[in-house]
Amino acid sequence: MKTIIRVLAFAAGLTLSFAHAHAQGTARSQDFDLSIRSAAMGGASTGVAWGAVGVWGNPASLSSVQGIEWAYTRTRLVPGLADDVYLTSKHLRLGGAGIGVSLSGQPFEGLGETRLDYGTSSPFVDEERIRSWAIGVSPLQVMRALGRLPGSSVLARADLAIGIQSKDTRVSLGPVSAEATGIDAGISARMPLLPEESRRSLEVGLGYAVLGANKQLFDFGFGLEPGTRTHRFGVATRLVLKEAFPAGVTSLNPIIGVDRTLAFTLALDRASFGRLGEVDYNVNNLGFEATLLGILSARIGYYDDQVGQLTDPTYGAGLHVPVGGVMAFDFDYANIPQAHDSGLPNVDRIGVNITLDPMALAKRLK
């Protein structure tokens, strides 16, 4: 009983203090976007079709994966209230030519997982574990890879992608546990607005996703509890100055792949949270990102969450280190607020991503 009380207290703390965690469904681990980039940008990611993918925000983003990726994130969810409550995730991603997949505990054991650890160990381990798989496909990228689109056509630079994700979620609270499978689905589109030969590129992106689209019900033995259903709509735009710096900056290119670009991304999301067919509340998210030389990113954002008492800024940074065009290391950090009158400190989130492109490596070795 002591364990159950502690878990319920932590759940209440999550509900009162962290963005999006006050969703009305059970399985709180499903309510958090695992993208650290998105968190730094105020939670806006659904329409962002450039840069690091946000699979849990929109599974269609997987279509842009190129090569083999290993992604890891770790977050202490409610510092100042329960310092031993952590959310961690490990995902393997594979992709190329407009088709990408994400594997995290499914269909093979040992390929990662997402875990919300409530910090208890005796007599029960109170936690939530999610094993998932996802796939994203861009028909236009597939056609380009097959040489079926003329290089001069608008469609040769545009993009349209769809994605689906399955999450097997097990919630263990004291002596009781329940399990259910949630299905996410999403679509994204990207359109260039300037000619390819221009010294600038300007693109607009749109995205829509339904997380928990199916009727997932958790049975704890005292009635069925639905998981959270979230509708997300996002719009984003990206401006890239292709020759923003002198040609000399490319002298490091053989080592780390420095380019001469300066890029700006602006994103706006609206998310509706609820259970099954009901909408309990809406959240608006605004984010901005500036990326220097394709390596260093600065991010700021803003949550507009009236129900959760979160109308606050977010911020963060990203470091992308490409190696010879065949590997890359990404480090991401985000700082996000807790509820106004909770008196709790901000939450720090970190993520690490390692990428290897076997096709590029094979070309290098020829």
pLDDT digits (tens, 9 = 90+) for 233-258: 999 999 999 887 777 666 555 555 56
Per-residue pLDDT band for 82 (boundaries 50, 70, 90) equals: confident
Mean pLDDT of the chain: 86
Count Cβ neighbours within 10 Å for each residue of 106-125 and write b for 16 or more, e otherwise.
beeeebbbbbbbbbbeeebe
What is the spatial distance between Cα 263 and Cα 293, in angstroms, rounded to a whole number? 8
User: Which of 229, 329, 313 lies closest to 278 in space, CA to CA?
Assistant: 229
Per-residue pLDDT band for 152 (boundaries 50, 70, 90) equals: low
- The dihedral through the CA atoms of 35, 37, 40, 46 has a sign that is negative
The pLDDT value given to residue 185:
97
Chain segment 181-200, per-residue pLDDT in tens: 999 999 999 999 988 888 89
What is the spatial distance between Cα 312 and Cα 35, in angstroms, rounded to a whole number? 19
Torsion of Cα atoms, 24 then 29 then 35 then 40, to 10°: 60
Is residue 187 within 8 A of residue 207, CB to CB? The reply is yes
What is the spatial distance between Cα 333 and Cα 315, in angstroms, rounded to a whole number? 8
Torsion of Cα atoms, 359 then 360 then 364 then 366, to 10°: 20
The pLDDT value given to residue 8:
46
User: Which of 168, 196, 53 lies closest to 107 in space, CA to CA?
Assistant: 168
Is residue 303 within 8 A of residue 42, CB to CB? The reply is yes
Residue extents of the structural domains in the chain: 2-241+269-284
Phi (first) and psi of residue 300, to 5 degrees: -140, 160
Is residue 307 within 8 A of residue 20, CB to CB? The reply is no
Chain segment 37-60, per-residue pLDDT in tens: 999 999 999 999 898 888 989 999
The pLDDT value given to residue 151:
60
Residue 218, beta-bridge partner list? 225
DSSP string, 240-277: EETT-S-GGGGGGHHHH-----EEEEEEEEEEEEEETT
Bond into 150 cis (ω within 30): no
Is residue 25 within 8 A of residue 14, CB to CB? The reply is no
List all residues 6 or more positions away from 153 whose beta carbon is below 8 Å from its beta carbon: none
The rounded percent of the chain whose pLDDT value lies above 90 is: 52
- pLDDT at 11 > cutoff 60: no
- pLDDT at 221 > cutoff 90: no
- pLDDT at 10 > cutoff 60: no
**If you ran DSSP here, which 8-state letter would residue 106 be given?**
S
User: Which of 108, 105, 78 lies closest to 90 in space, CA to CA?
Assistant: 105
User: Which of 189, 179, 234 lies closest to 38 in space, CA to CA?
Assistant: 234
The pLDDT value given to residue 250:
60
